[in-house]
Structure 1
Amino acid sequence: MADPRRTDSVRSDPRRIDVHQHVIPPARSRAIAARAAAVGWPAPAWDEHSAIAMMDRRSIDTAVLSYAAPLAGPDDPDAARATARGVNEYTAELVKNRPDRFAHFAALPLPDVDAALAEAVHALDVLHADGVMILSNAHGRYPGEEAFEPLWAELDARSAVVLVHPTAPPGAPLPQVPPPLADFPYDTTRAALHMTVRGVPRRYPRVKVILPHAGGFLPYAASRFALAARLPRTTSTDTPDTVPEVPTTPVDFVTDLRRFHFDTAISPGPATLPCLLAFAAPDHILYGSDYPMLPEDWSTGFDTALDTYPDWKPGQLHAVNRGNAEQLIPRLAQEP
């Protein structure tokens, strides 16, 4: 007898909001393709028309675009600033022309905090970005560092949405294991853990931080990570006056980990999805495609797994597909 809870042929909500789609401006396409080829990953391609066609095939109403690659080399901050501004202006123009189909998270040229602050203000105030995107590490600098505090304070004052997108961690990748397979979820986990150990979610509760790919390994190992609350709280650069406000018990630590939002990109598997649902707050789970970094023919199975998961509670799939994203970005809410 068929399970009556399954929705193999009919989704509970056919129009998703995709919080994790990547824009590739024409000026950056060659660099992105070369970066992918260097690690053995398929070279992605993106343009407005093919993206909308893909979205129509996959019942995606609106995509939030972000640029998920280092902006420049570690020794060229001027190029990073220029690339961030160019990417953000290009994406803002796409959104201006098709606000019904696109939104965007602006790229910030970290680890230059002053430049990142200036770009965040420009993107949010002038380009009307829907949030910002930072990488899980900026040339080896992680987002919980004390130097990044002014940026978090500004984003908190604006109740901003921040996508923390993974990139390769310091060190060489394993042979035949491209970074997107293992290093990316590892670095997402590392960034989130670093932020929590340093008290960022606790001090800046108005910032809504999205962790892609179901948060990497964070939901699975949250209880293990919570042991960090039992360890000494200072670093070699802390003084008694600069020790940050941090979670002091394992329960508090897990509470702070659950402040994060999580997207479903490359994650609705039979082990991963139940783990995410068991850990994350119900209103903190969002649909993500990771297109075009994940080729469409690789990813439709994840959509099917999400839609046909047998243990959704009433209204939960709708919340994941679009309702939770509407809460984060209210302008994307459908007209009543």
Structure 2
Amino acid sequence: MNRIDTHQHIVPPRYAEWLREKGIKPGGVDVPTWSESAALEFMDGHGIQTGILSLSTPGVYFGDVAEACRWAREINIYCADLRDRHPGRFGFFATLPMPDVDSAIEEAEYALDVLQADGIVLLANYEGRYLGDETFLPLLEFLHERGTAVFVHPGELPAEPVPGIPGFTADFLLDTTRTAISLILSGAMERCANIKFILAHAGGFVPYIAYRILLTMAREGLAPSLDVLKRFYFDIALSATPAALPSLLEVADPDHITYGSDFPFAPPIAVDAINGLYEKYPLDPALRAAIDRGNSEALFPRLKGQS
């Protein structure tokens, strides 16, 4: 039991109640029930030693910056306390009160310096603005200076949903893809090269459309190269399948792929199904060991040697 799960969510009970009161269904699904005992039971049953926890969409901002700041601080302290009560079992990506950049930088500084967060979680878009938007550059520069790991999780696509198709089915994947392209075309990947961006769900559609991205770079006057895509990290949450893995392995740096479960939004039965495909997929044993743990140890050195 030594996997490091870089895509595991936390749904604190008070936060879950808040979302339910607002009638929010993240990605078109009900807010799942979560508890630390259920998380530990899930991890023990799926070979996971450490879960790096993050808040999923919709985050904490609903038009009130002060309210978002209070919720971000409460959730970050909650995560830090959980980590400290279960040494070696949990880490966390800190939540920020985005899209207010000044407040986000303040909370990031507190989370990284005081709470010793393992990194930051950002949604792919905020109010329709993707992460390469110039308004977010001060935050990216701050995270660049810290060499921060940034987990990029999709949010609600800034478009009307298609009736009968949940957002998690395809909209989430497009949202991640859009923000990755935004980071590339804006120059943020070059200007903030010390940020370790981890793209959820194998990067959405990024591996599959890699050469379309290169054509777009050329059209925009940028030198097209797969090297920029290889600088992203990719987790394999809900994506370790015979259909998705070949594209991912063709595009990603083998040292930049991490294990992910998406629990509890992905229930154990769904994780079992994906893990079954992943465990049967013909991977070199060294690469499998790197995905399950080694690559994450390089990202989070504090976890090295704890297996």
Q: Bin the TM-score by the shorter chain.
A: over 0.9
Per the alignment, residue 331 of structure 1 pairs with 302
| C-alpha RMSD over aligned residues | 1.5
Counting only pairs closer than 5 Å after superposition, residues 236-315 of structure 1 correspond to structure 2 as 248-251=222-225, 254-310=226-282, 312-315=283-286
Runs of 4 or more above 6 Å deviation:
none
TM-score, normalization by structure 1: 0.87
Contact 1:32–1:44 (8 Å) recurs in 2? no
- 1:173 and 2:173 equivalent? no
Between the aligned partners of 2:238 and 2:66, the Cα distance in structure 1 is 34
- 1:316 and 2:290 equivalent? no
TM-score, normalization by structure 2: 0.95
Among residues 29, 32, 40, which one is paired with 1:41 in the alignment? 29
Per the alignment, residue 5 of structure 1 pairs with none
Between the aligned partners of 2:29 and 2:63, the Cα distance in structure 1 is 25
Between the aligned partners of 2:94 and 2:27, the Cα distance in structure 1 is 25
1:225-257 Cα distance to aligned partner (Å, 9 max, x none): 111223346xxxxxxxxxxxxxx2222xx3212
Name the amino acid aligned to 2:266.
L
Name the amino acid aligned to 1:320.
I
Return closer, same or farther for 1:154/1:188 CA change in 2, 3 Å cut-off: same
- 1:217 and 2:205 equivalent? yes
Between the aligned partners of 2:292 and 2:94, the Cα distance in structure 1 is 22
Contact 2:153–2:199 (8 Å) recurs in 1? yes
The range that moved more, 285-294 or 198-207, is 198-207
3-state secondary structure, aligned to 1:220 = coil
Between the aligned partners of 1:225 and 1:176, the Cα distance in structure 2 is 30
Between the aligned partners of 1:290 and 1:193, the Cα distance in structure 2 is 23
1:72-107 Cα distance to aligned partner (Å, 9 max, x none): 454211111111111111111101111210000001
Larger Cα-atom Rg: 1
In the alignment of these two chains, the number of paired residues is: 305
Return closer, same or farther for 1:154/1:225 CA change in 2, 3 Å cut-off: same
Per the alignment, residue 242 of structure 1 pairs with none
Name the amino acid aligned to 1:142.
Y
Per the alignment, residue 141 of structure 2 pairs with 153
Identity across aligned pairs (percent)?
Answer: 43
Name the amino acid aligned to 1:217.
F
Contact 1:71–1:79 (8 Å) recurs in 2? no
Note the residue ranges of structure 1 that are not aligned, 5 or more in a row: 1-13, 234-247
1:42-85 Cα distance to aligned partner (Å, 9 max, x none): 44111111100110000100000001123345421111111111
Return closer, same or farther for 1:73/1:128 CA change in 2, 3 Å cut-off: closer
